[in-house]
């Protein structure tokens, strides 16, 4: 498969992933806005910080290294999928080991919430751990689907699972609000069970079908999805296993960086459960665009870079046609996330208070919420750039370079946790976001230096994508000034007529910025039109 074909497939995958995440976040946004009227912020803090941290830690540490390693090998005919699937099934026993350890920590080492305010904490910990193990059951199927770009499967499965979770949660919150943590625990189990069931049903119908044979799908019977050995060959590919181990050491540190503020809140108790709840709501609002736009693009184009580039070489030692395509794509992706990130930063500052007031009322807008969301708007820009740069770096690094990078991640993790603790004691919850900003800036710097060295002796310079046009920077600066003045004049203690004026001012400024993008960033516009729109590239099942 040529690099252009891989780019088309990765672009299709990114498009459907973005569509999925938009729907996912929109439904979650509406559900959270609804449940905020029925539950306390203390309950929100326990569920969204304490219990979801248990869930994300268990799942991430059990599967992330396997995902990155097993997707690095592509889906070509020379690959042994029997050995790959055997390796992927190890995520389940690893999850059991992690789950046993983490449940003990969550139950006996961490401070439990007040049972009068947040009852049923112990059973909820067990159910969230069980939900994590259920999701790991579908990991071999998920990797098969990603490697063979079965994008509609992911879209359908996660859509159905999310819909079931939302309906279940809203129904029980209305009918039995006294259920507390039982509601959210059961809803998480419904989500993971539905997700795995969708993947299982799809592959039972797909494997061995005419469509699978036509696409050259390597699995011929459903039984081949289960762990099995073949005479004369090892049970697993040991080179792939060693790469997994390298990613595993890195994933532990990456998880610490990704969820660092939650670990500090959970283990050091620097904020009350109520304050944790408010911080988490603001964090989810601020990261919404990063999650539904940037993360799917990062995941999809990691697959593209992994397939097009050979690990461990620089631009001179690769096939030049492939390097050229990779460089152009990297430059366009960087330009895309920088432009979107700057727009979010500029308009997020002037519309944070109004957004929180609409979303959660005085519960969110009366306290530190608006300041948190304003600072987070700037952090989104760093999140976006870091996601794309690390996406390329992790796909291009050799195993030895990945091992060395673990030392960098360790230093970043320690510095981040220390900064979080110090800045939170000084500035409250805003300190978490500032610590994240500093840490993310250091990660970006490391990635930029690697990319510069990678393309140093080549004619390509993808880092030019970090520089928007002067006209666009001027339009953004003017918008920042005008919207800030509009907020001070029309929002947010005034009534709705003046608030609508503030919204209209923002709409006019945003239209001007978008028009400037269309006129000055023509290469970016062409890239978005041809690569990131669903249906504009080759169709995949």
pLDDT value, residue 8? 64
Interacting residues of 518 by C-beta distance below 8 A, sequence separation 6+: 525
Interacting residues of 504 by C-beta distance below 8 A, sequence separation 6+: none
pLDDT digits (tens, 9 = 90+) for 511-532: 999 999 999 999 899 888 887 5
Whole-number Å distance between alpha carbons of 301 and 83:
25
Chain-centroid distance of CA 187 in Å reads 21
Comparing CA positions, the residue from 103, 141, 109 lying closest to residue 123 is: 103
Whole-number Å distance between alpha carbons of 125 and 108:
11
pLDDT value, residue 244? 87
pLDDT digits (tens, 9 = 90+) for 140-152: 999 888 888 776 7
pLDDT value, residue 496? 73
- Taking 70 as the pLDDT cut, the residues of the chain under it are 1-29, 32, 73-79, 151, 289-292, 363, 493-494, 532-541
Do the Cβ atoms of 343 and 330 come closer than 8 Å? no
Residue in the block written with tokens 């992690």 = 98
pLDDT digits (tens, 9 = 90+) for 150-183: 767 887 888 889 888 888 988 888 888 788 899 9
Comparing CA positions, the residue from 445, 417, 427, 340 lying closest to residue 375 is: 427
Interacting residues of 282 by C-beta distance below 8 A, sequence separation 6+: 356, 364, 369, 372, 373, 376
Question: For residue 232, is it left (φ>0), alpha (ψ between -120 and 50) or beta?
Answer: left
Interacting residues of 418 by C-beta distance below 8 A, sequence separation 6+: none
pLDDT value, residue 99? 95
Whole-number Å distance between alpha carbons of 189 and 131:
5
Whole-number Å distance between alpha carbons of 322 and 360:
49
CA atoms within 13 A on the CB side of 357: 12
Whole-number Å distance between alpha carbons of 22 and 401:
35
């Amino acid at each position: 498969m040529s690099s252009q074909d891989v780019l088309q497939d990765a672009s299709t995958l990114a498009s459907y992933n973005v569509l999925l995440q938009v729907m996912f976040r929109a439904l979650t946004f509406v559900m959270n806005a609804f449940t905020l009227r029925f539950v306390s912020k203390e309950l929100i803090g326990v569920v969204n910080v304490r219990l979801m941290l248990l869930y994300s830690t268990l799942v991430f540490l059990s599967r992330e290294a396997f995902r990155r390693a097993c997707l690095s090998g592509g889906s070509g005919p020379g690959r042994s999928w029997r050995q790959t699937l055997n390796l992927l099934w190890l995520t389940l026993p690893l999850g059991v080991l992690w789950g046993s350890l983490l449940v003990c920590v969550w139950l006996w080492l961490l401070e439990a919430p007040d049972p009068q305010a947040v009852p049923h904490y112990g059973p909820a910990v067990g159910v969230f751990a069980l939900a994590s193990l259920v999701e790991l059951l579908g990991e071999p199927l998920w990797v098969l689907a990603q490697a063979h770009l079965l994008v509609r499967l992911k879209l359908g499965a996660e859509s159905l699972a999310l819909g079931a979770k939302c309906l279940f949660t809203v129904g029980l919150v209305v009918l039995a609000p006294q259920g507390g943590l039982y509601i959210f625990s059961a809803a998480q189990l419904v989500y993971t069970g539905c997700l795995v069931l969708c993947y299982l049903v799809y592959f039972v119908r797909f494997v061995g079908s005419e469509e699978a044979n036509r696409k050259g799908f390597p699995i011929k019977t459903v039984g081949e999805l289960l762990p099995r050995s073949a005479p004369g060959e090892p049970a697993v590919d040991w080179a792939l296993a060693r790469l997994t181990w390298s990613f595993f050491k890195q994933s532990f540190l990456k998880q610490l960086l990704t969820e660092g503020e939650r670990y500090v809140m959970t283990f050091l108790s620097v904020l009350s459960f109520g304050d944790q709840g408010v911080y988490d709501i603001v964090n989810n609002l601020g990261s919404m665009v990063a999650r539904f736009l940037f993360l799917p693009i990062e995941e999809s184009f990691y697959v593209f870079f992994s397939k097009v580039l050979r690990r461990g070489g620089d631009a001179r030692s690769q096939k030049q046609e492939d390097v050229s395509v990779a460089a152009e794509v990297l430059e366009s992706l960087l330009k895309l996330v920088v432009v979107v990130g700057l727009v979010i930063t500029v308009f997020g500052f002037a519309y944070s208070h109004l957004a929180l007031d609409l979303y959660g009322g005085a519960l969110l807008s009366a306290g530190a919420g608006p300041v948190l969301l304003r600072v987070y708007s700037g952090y989104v820009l760093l999140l976006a750039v870091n996601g794309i740069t690390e996406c390329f770096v992790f796909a291009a690094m050799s195993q030895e370079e990945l091992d060395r990078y673990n030392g960098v991640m360790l230093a970043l993790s320690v510095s981040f946790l220390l900064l979080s603790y110090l800045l939170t004691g000084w500035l409250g919850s805003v300190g978490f976001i500032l610590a994240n900003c500093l840490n993310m800036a250091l990660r970006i710097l490391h990635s930029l230096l690697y990319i510069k060295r990678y393309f140093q002796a080549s004619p390509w310079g993808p880092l030019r994508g970090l520089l928007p046009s002067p006209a666009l920077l001027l339009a953004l600066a003017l918008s920042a000034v005008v919207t800030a003045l509009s907020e001070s004049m029309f929002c947010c203690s005034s009534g709705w007529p003046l608030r609508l004026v503030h919204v209209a001012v923002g709409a006019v400024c945003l239209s001007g910025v978008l028009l400037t993008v269309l006129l000055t960033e023509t290469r970016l516009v062409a890239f978005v039109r041809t690569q990131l729109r669903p249906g504009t590239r080759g169709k995949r099942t």
